[in-house]
Amino acid sequence: MSAHLWILASLLAGLFQAWRTALQQRLRGVLSVSGAGLVRYAFGIPFAALMAGAYLTVTGQGFPALSPHYLMLAAGAGLAQILGTALLILSFGFRGFVVGTAFSKTEALLAALASAMFFSERLAPIAWAGIAVGVVGVMLLSLPEERSPAALLRNVVQPAALCGLGAAALFALTGLLVRQATIALHTHDPVAAALVTLLAVVILQTIMHGAYLSWREPATWRAIGRNWRNSTLVGLLAAAGSACWFTGFATAPVALVRVVGQVEVLFTIGFAHLYLAERIRSREAGALLMIAFGVVLALLSQL
């Protein structure tokens, strides 16, 4: 298996996630924040099961045993992703699709710090530089037109920033827990571990989130049913994107996967312009160059 599989997985994950988030934002017009988040898990189960089943069958592997420790890690990852997704969708309502995504992209830096502190993962200095450059690039997308210190401070403490930063922390935690879950499966095949973990996570997410929705927003189930076509496409893209993310997490440090996956911002701006009709600002060109440079530095660290 290629040692650089995580690079292709990270790039594809960025594409699928940007496409899925754009569709999910359109669902936000007819569903609640909670309902728009649930569809990615509930409608992703059939596709996750198909991918895991097909891969295990083709490679001649049986379904691995799932220990209580593994299930706790998978449930923790699922809950962190549920909460992070809710905060990300909520941030869209304050400053727009592109900016909400930009705030959440600080997760690469948070994942790197947490990996170093709690899991003793060491990154080369050039990788840290790539993470820093990428984070600065995505944060450029959120700067206000006014550049005074007071305006910059307001930009950091506004609701969109707080929601985006909260989502970033939760997504970083998701990646770290998924990586630990794939390790806990004790399988020699990281792709199999990633796909099995994806299936376990989306099932647990549907149970947790579905129970909450039934309790607090039972009417949302009917709205989801009325929008089953868009919800199915969201589920497909979510499953495909998560399969790529999980494969990356299983084969490389989470922080590196996340910084390469920041190409999502490029796709996000394209979808926001073409699919959501949001205007692209001239400042975004410089931000995209910084993000691309950060990705290149992260890749060079692995050569």
Per-residue pLDDT reduced to its tens digit, 13-46: 888 887 777 676 666 667 777 887 788 889 999 9
Q: Is the pLDDT of residue 180 over 90?
A: yes
Tokens 């770290």 correspond to 176
Q: Is the pLDDT of residue 289 over 80?
A: no
56 or 234, which is more confident: 56
The band of 153, judged by pLDDT with boundaries at 50, 70 and 90, is low
Domains held by the chain: number: 1
Residues 6+ apart with CB under 8 A from 251: 5, 6, 9, 190
Angle formed by the axes of helices 264-274 and 97-104, to 10°?
A: 170
Q: Residue 221 is part of which domain span?
A: 5-300
Q: Is the pLDDT of residue 147 over 70?
A: no
Residue 256: which of 115, 80, 88, 85 has the closest Cα? 115
Find the mean pLDDT for residues 230-250.
91
Residue-wise pLDDT tens digits, 74-104: 999 999 999 988 887 777 666 555 566 667 7
From residue 195, how far is each of 135, 189, 204, 239, 241 by CA, in Å?
29, 10, 14, 10, 11
Find the mean pLDDT for residues 176-199.
94
> b or e along 156-191 (b: 16 or more beta carbons within 10 Å of the residue's beta carbon)?
eebebbbbbbbbbbbbbbbbbbbbbbbbbbebebbb
